[in-house]
Amino acid sequence: MLLFSISVQLNSSPQFRLHASLPELALGVVRFVFGGLSSLNKDFVRRARASLTAVVLVCVSALSGFCAVVSIVGSSFSCSFGGLISTLGLRSLCVGLFYGFYCVFCQRWVLDFPIVQRSPFFSYKMGLLSAVRQALKLSVASYMFSALFVLLLPDQHRSSVAGQYFSEQFIFYVGNFAVFLSWELILYLHKVLHTKRFVFAPSKGSAAVETNPSESLLAALEDSQPRSLLQYLAYLDLYMVCGSNIEPWRRAAFFEETGETYKRVVAACLRPLEQFTSNLAEGLTSSKINKLSHQLSSPNEYFHSSEILESFSDFQITWTL
pLDDT tens digits for 43-93? 777 788 888 888 999 999 999 998 888 888 877 766 666 666 667 778 888
Alpha carbon separation from 100 to 11, 94, 138, 191 (Å, rounded): 12, 10, 12, 17
Beta bridge partners of 13: 110
CB atoms within 10 A of CB 116: 5
Closest CA to 265 of 244, 245, 235: 235
Rounded to whole angstroms, the Cα distance separating 313 from 110 reads: 10
- Residue 310 has what pLDDT? 62
Alpha carbon separation from 37 to 29, 34, 41 (Å, rounded): 10, 9, 9
Does 73 or 303 have the greater pLDDT score?
A: 73
Give the CA count within 13 Å in the CB-facing half-sphere of 1: 16
Expressed in percent and rounded to 5, the helix, strand and coil fractions of the chain are 75, 0, 25
- Residue 186 has what pLDDT? 93
Q: Read off the DSSP letter of residue 13.
A: B
Instruction: Please provide the average confidence, as pLDDT, over all residues in the chain.
Output: 79
- Residue 42 has what pLDDT? 75
First to last CA, the chain: 37
What is the C-alpha radius of gyration for the chain, rounded to an integer number of angstroms? 25
Rounded to whole angstroms, the Cα distance separating 148 from 60 reads: 22
Rounded to whole angstroms, the Cα distance separating 51 from 105 reads: 12
In Å, how far from its chain's centre is CA 57? 10
Q: What is the tens place of the pLDDT at every residue in 147-181?
A: 776 666 555 445 555 666 677 778 888 888 999 99
Which of 10-24, 33-47, 59-73, 139-153 is most confident?
Answer: 59-73
Query: Residue 135's pLDDT band (boundaries 50, 70, 90)?
Result: very high
Which of 114-128, 188-202, 267-281 is most confident?
Answer: 188-202
* Residue type present at position 279: N
Q: What is the pLDDT averaged over residues 106-127?
A: 85
